[in-house]
Amino acid sequence: MERTLVIIKPDAVQRGLVGPILTRFERRGLRFAALKLMQITPELAARHYAVHKDKPFYPSLIKYITSGPVVVAVIEGNDAIKIVRTMMGETHPAQAAPGTIRADFGMEIGRNLVHGSDKPETAAFEIPLFFSDDEILSYQRAIDSWIYE
Ligand code: DAT
Ligand code: MG
Residue 103 to residue 125: CA distance in whole angstroms: 27
Residue 3 to residue 41: CA distance in whole angstroms: 23
Q: Whose CA is nearest to atom 22 of ligand 1?
A: 57
Which pLDDT band holds residue 2 (cuts at 50, 70, 90)?
very high
Q: For each of the domains in the chain, give its residue range(s) and CATH number, in order of start.
A: 2-138 (3.30.70.141)
Q: Which helix (H) or strand (E) holds 6?
A: strand 2-8
> To test ligand 1's pocket by mutation, which of 4, 40, 54, 61 has the most ligand atoms within 8 angstroms of CB?
61
* Predicted model pTM: 0.98
pLDDT in tens, 64-104: 999 999 999 999 999 999 999 999 999 999 999 999 999 99
The three-state secondary structure class of 51 is helix
Closest ligand to 126 CA? Answer: 2
**Contact indicator for 2, 81 with CB cutoff of 8 Å:** yes
